[in-house]
Amino acid sequence: MREAEIGRLWAANLLRLCSVVLSAVVPPFFWDGFTVLATHLAWLCVCSLSVSALNIGLHLVLKPNLSPKRSSFAHKISRFLKCCIYFFMSCILFHAIIVLYGAPLIESVTETFLFAVLLSTFTTLQCLCMLGPNLQAWIRVFSKNGAMSIWESSLQITTMCSILGAWFGAFPIPLDWDRPWQVWPISCSLGATFGYMAGLIIAPLWIHWNRKQLTYKSR
């Protein structure tokens, strides 16, 4: 495994990490009273847009898993529309799952949906950028020993860390501490965000540590 490829992964993940941090640091300069807790719904939108823009930009620049075949303009448009549909369906699916896990069904619909958008940004968008709207490739990557590159291994780790972070973030909500961050869905979205950020750091470290054991084969 080339060290240069791991270095590219480090650089990409650090940029993703910075995009999350900047989504909380930059807006207060232009928006009076903006904070992650006080204007949480606005921060969810800013963070989702920031991470989305960077992920799409990195995909266009780094082109991981890019097929050597040239595709027509019509094919690219069709692929883009499919990706948009998949992302929207992911938001709806996450919204439904979150409600099934106990989120309010009618109240706080906006909060729940924006949280679902954030989760889709941390998980589904990365899959779409790297694998495209190909469900078979998604199933392969998230199956045992299914990753074919360090980028797909990183995708596995960051996706799982984001979902686990959101799940752990739900634990403090029922406690009677009366803290501002216990309001739905602040603790869950912060948990997902910290999980995503942790995954961005853990992934290259784990890949570097296990680089001698990792052997990627084309399928």
Query: Per residue in 161-185, pLDDT tens?
Result: 999 999 999 998 888 777 888 889 9
CB 23 within 8 A of CB 50: yes
- In angstroms, rounded to a whole number, what is the distance separating the alpha carbons of residues 124 and 184? 22
Q: How far apart are the first and last CA of the chain?
A: 18
Among residues 182, 113, 137, 127, the alpha carbon closest in space to that of 160 is found at: 127
The predicted structure's pLDDT at residue 70: 60
Does residue 16 belong to any structural domain of this protein?
no
10 located within any domain? no
**Does 67 reside within a domain?**
no
Domain presence at residue 205 = yes
Assigned domain for 9 exists: no
What is the distance between the alpha carbons of residues 127 and 125, in angstroms, rounded to a whole number?
5
Using alpha carbons, list the distances in angstroms from residue 51 to 81, 136, 145. 20, 25, 28
Among candidates 170, 88, 160, which has minimal Cα distance to 122? 160
pLDDT at position 191: 96
Q: Is 66 inside a domain boundary?
A: no
Residues lower than pLDDT 70 in the chain? 1, 64-71, 215-219
> 106 is written with which tokens?
């009618």
pLDDT at residue 219, rounded to an integer: 46
What's the pLDDT score for residue 214?
74
User: How many whole angstroms separate alpha carbon 219 and alpha carbon 145?
Assistant: 12
Task: Measure Cα distances from 101 to 95, 140, 167, 170, 178 in Å.
Answer: 10, 27, 10, 10, 22
Provide the domain limits for residue 166: 73-217
Residue 40 lies in a domain: no
Q: Is residue 32 part of a domain?
A: no
Number of domains in the chain: 1
Instruction: Give the pLDDT score at 153.
Output: 92
- Note whether 99 and 112 are within 8 A (CB): yes
pLDDT at 190: 96
- DSSP letter (8 states) at residue 180: G
* Residue 199 confidence (pLDDT): 97
Q: How far is CA 28 from the centre of its chain?
A: 24
